[in-house]
Amino acid sequence: MDDDDISTIYDSTGALVEGCRLPVRMHGTEDWPLAEIVSVKEQECRRIFYVHYVDFNKRLDEWVSEEYLDTRKVQFPRRDATATTASTGVTTPKRILSIPGSVSRPASPTNSEIVNGNTVLAAALQKKINRKRRTQIVIENEESSQDVPDKTPRQSGSMVAHHDDVVTRMKNVKMIELGKHRIKPWYFAPYPQELCQMSCIYICEFCLKYRKSKKCLERHLNKCNLKHPPGNEIYRKQTISFFEIDGRKNKVYAQNLCLLAKLFLDHKTLYYDTDPFLFYVMTEFDSRGFHIVGYFSKEKESTEDYNVACILTMPPYQRKGYGKLLIEFSYELSKFEGKTGSPEKPLSDLGLLSYRSYWAQTILDIFITQNPGPDGEKPQITINEICELTSIKKEDVISTLQNLNLINYYKGQYIVCINREIIDQHKKAMDKRKIRIDSKCLHWSPKDWTKRSKW
Ligand code: ACO
Ligand code: ZN
């Protein structure tokens, strides 16, 4: 590329507006995937662009400067809001778009948005919430209390699916500090505006209250005497504990947990009421206290047999097996309840990966450890028996068997064939799951919420 080329390209960024699509170089990679401009602003006399990579998850969205834009093939937005290729007389960029998965960051395995009645309803709800939020969010100053639930943005343990609006499409929090971790958020979360302007939001790792500076947090820590989440510790094995928190009894904690989780959960939206939910917070213990690793929320009563509403591993702990531990725990609770359960839909890309892997390992484990019949005949098991043993809902068992491609139809019946290779792979995968839930360490009995007049 000579100098003339560069100036032509740079000059033409002037025409770029929100909604334009063009190849953009992804930070930290040599890839130029197609991206959509979500927002444009001026910073130090230069225009910068907030872009969404079309085939990638929104957590990769970022601000880029104009050197990152390849303006030789721009699709301008049409009036009806769908982008169209403008006849700029230029050819396809020489740098070929990368295949998702070949990049160093996680690619989204699903890029189609699920649109259904719930989503439409949720979009309407979201608009309503946004209107309310504008009037309700109070800017918290240092000593203002977050113990007044009506004045803070309220959320539920569930968080409904939503359609984007421009504000909530963009990450608004630059950084959070939680205990010893500094974490870059993935998505929008409605923290008070004043805090979002700061370079970092400081969060108490035990009560999850948020402060605008390190000093303010230190002042808070002098007063805060929590060293673990509120609620009952219902499980402990070695350093891992689970605390059960009632969204009605510990409303402020539950709301702050949802707000924190929203930074990493995109496909769900915060909404108002935490009362109908229980929160199971997993912690790791050391001499300084019980540090939050992740959590899941669960409706007290679910008409759809959901046993998880939202699930999250805090980013510093991800990809170490804690997600599967949370999932395993959620099914352990369902076993204690004598029910099958399933996670609330839609699942995120990472949620789907984790659940698929958990389901596959759990079901394969049953097949592989089954004993042959008394006369050495092949072991038999029904789908219902698999559901009973695992508490995995029938449709998830069936979809897992289909995904694994294990079912064959032979002489009038369905049989599952497992070869040595599958067994070896499975054993290797199970060896990697170092930490497991031990049901003997769970001290919990399910409550019948239907019998209570009020949660
Ligand atoms: N890229 C590729 N694979 C991944 C990634 C990644 N970034 N993260 C997890 N996985 C895979 C792992 O390889 C593993 O599969 P394997 O054992 O077959 O290799 C599986 O997912 C689970 O890995 P864990 O280490 O046990 O899970 P982790 O602690 O990372 O937590 C979770 C998974 C909870 C989904 C986490 O990614 C997260 O919190 N994401 C943000 C929030 C979210 O999307 N939650 C789910 C929403 S759906 C719902 O709420 C019902
Ligand atoms: Zn605190």
Per-residue model confidence (pLDDT) at position 120: 33
> Quick check: is 205 catalytic?
no
Ligand 1 centroid – CA 353 distance (Å)? 6
Q: What's the sign of the alpha-carbon dihedral 248, 253, 259, 264?
A: negative
pLDDT digits 0-9 by tens, 413-431: 888 888 899 999 999 999 9
Regarding the beta carbon of 106 and ligand 1, being less than 6 Å apart is answered yes
Tens digits of per-residue pLDDT, 107-164? Answer: 333 333 322 333 333 333 344 334 443 333 222 223 333 433 333 443 456 665 444 5
Per-residue pLDDT, 148: 33
Please give the full DSSP string across 87-140, using - where no structure is assigned: --S-PPPSSPPPPTTSSSSPPPS--SPP--HHHHHHHHHHHHHHHHHHHHPPPP
Higher pLDDT among residues 444 and 100, named by residue: 444
For residues 92 and 277, the model is more confident at 277
138 exposed, middle or buried (CB, 10 Å; 0-12, 13-18, 19+)? Answer: middle
Q: Considering the chain, what percentage of its residues have pLDDT values greater than 70?
A: 77
> 388 pLDDT exceeds 90?
yes
Residue 261 CA: nearest ligand 1 atom is 42
Q: Give the distance (Å) from ligand 1 centre to CA of residue 24.
A: 27
Check pocket membership of 293 for ligand 1, CB cut-off 6 A.
no
Preceding omega of 346 cis (within 30 degrees of 0): yes
Nearest CA, atom 17, ligand 1: 357
Q: How far is the CA of 221 from the centre of ligand 2 (A)?
A: 6
Does 359 sit in the ligand 1 pocket, CB within 6 Å?
no
292-323 pLDDT, tens digit each: 999 999 999 999 999 999 999 999 999 999 99
* C-beta of 27 in contact with ligand 1 (< 6 A): no
Reported as a pLDDT band with limits 50, 70 and 90, residue 274 is very high
Give me the DSSP letters along 264-318.
T--SSB--S--TTEEEEEEEEEETTEEEEEEEEEEESS-TT-EEES-EEE-GGGT
From the alpha carbon of 317, which atom of ligand 1 is closest? 29
Ligand index nearest the alpha carbon of residue 266: 1
Q: Mention every residue, 6+ apart, whose C-beta is less than 8 A from residue 174.
A: 184, 185, 196, 198, 199, 200
Among candidate residues 205, 299, 332, 344, the one labeled active-site is 344
Largest CA distance in the chain: 82
Q: Which two tokens stand for residue 221?
A: 């820590």
| pLDDT higher than 50, residue 249 | yes
Distance 29 CA to ligand 1 centre (A): 22
Torsion sign, CA atoms 344, 348, 352, 355 = negative
E-strand ranges in 304-362 read 306-308, 311-313, 342-343
Q: Do the Cβ atoms of 95 and 70 come closer than 8 Å?
A: yes
pLDDT of residue 402: 92
